[in-house]
Amino acid sequence: MSNIVFSGNSDVGLRRSNNEDAFVVRPDLGFFAVADGMGGAAAGEEASRIFIETAQEVFSDACSDSEEQSFKLVQRAFALANERILGHVKNNPDHEGMGCTAELIAFSGNGYVLGHMGDSRTYRFRNGRLKQLSKDHSFVQDQIDQGLITPAEAKNHRMRNIVLRAVGVKESLALDLIRGKAVSGDLFLLCSDGLTDMVDDSSIEEVCCSKSTLSQKTDQFIELAKSAGGYDNITVALAQTL
Q: Looking at residue 200, which CATH number applies to its domain? A: 3.60.40.10
Lowest-pLDDT choice from 59-73, 171-185, 221-235? 59-73
pLDDT, one tens digit per residue, over 151-193 is 888 888 888 889 999 999 999 999 999 999 999 999 999 999 9
The domain in which residue 96 lies consists of 4-138+164-241
The amino acid at 20: E
Query: Where does the pLDDT of residue 2 fall: very low under 50, low under 70, confident under 90, or very high at 90 and above?
Result: low
Q: Rounded to whole angstroms, what are the CA distances from 56 to 27, 44, 50, 186, 197?
A: 12, 19, 10, 24, 28
pLDDT at 106 over 80: yes
- Residue 218 in domain: yes
pLDDT at 143: 94
- Residue 168 in domain: yes
Q: What is the pTM of this model?
A: 0.95
Q: Rounded to whole angstroms, what are the CA distances from 134 to 40, 104, 197, 228?
A: 25, 11, 15, 23
Number of helices (H), then strands (E), belonging to the chain: the values are 7, 10
* b (16+ CB within 10 A) / e for 175-190: bbeeebebeeebbbbb
Average pLDDT over residues 211-230: 98
Q: How many domains does the structure of the chain reveal?
A: 1
